[in-house]
Amino acid sequence: MRDCWHHIEKKLGDQYPPLHSACCNTIRDAKDIHCVCDRFTAHELTLLSVAKFAMATHVCGNGLRTHSYRVPEITLPPPPAST
C-alpha cells in the first residue's frame, strides 16, 4: 500500500486517487483487499485514516464491503516520564 500512502494518511493527500494511478493498480490487483487491512501495523493505523482507505478502495473498484473491517484496538506504551 506504499503507492497509496499519500491518499490515505490522516493529515495529507486526496482520498480520491486517479483511476490509472499506481495506487489504484495496487488496489485493483489485490486478491483480497481485506487481507491488506490486516497487514497494517499498529503504528501505521495511528497515521492513516481508515475512512480514506475505504474510499480509495471504492474509487479504485475493489471496495471494502460494508461492515467488513473492524479496526483493531491499539495499545500504545505510556509516554516516557518527564524529569
pLDDT tens-digit profile, the chain (83 residues): 788 888 888 888 777 888 899 999 988 888 777 777 677 888 888 888 888 888 888 888 888 766 555 656 667 677 777 76
Measuring CA to CA, which residue among 65, 46, 51, 54 is closest to residue 27? 54
Instruction: Domain ranges for the chain, please list them.
Output: 2-60
Amino acid 1: pLDDT: 73
Amino acid 73: pLDDT: 65
Separation between Cα atoms, residue 74 and residue 25, nearest integer Å: 29
Contact status, residue 60 vs residue 27, Cβ threshold 8 Å: yes
Separation between Cα atoms, residue 72 and residue 39, nearest integer Å: 11
Amino acid 21: pLDDT: 92
pTM score: 0.68
Separation between Cα atoms, residue 69 and residue 34, nearest integer Å: 7
Which grid cell sits at 41? 501495523
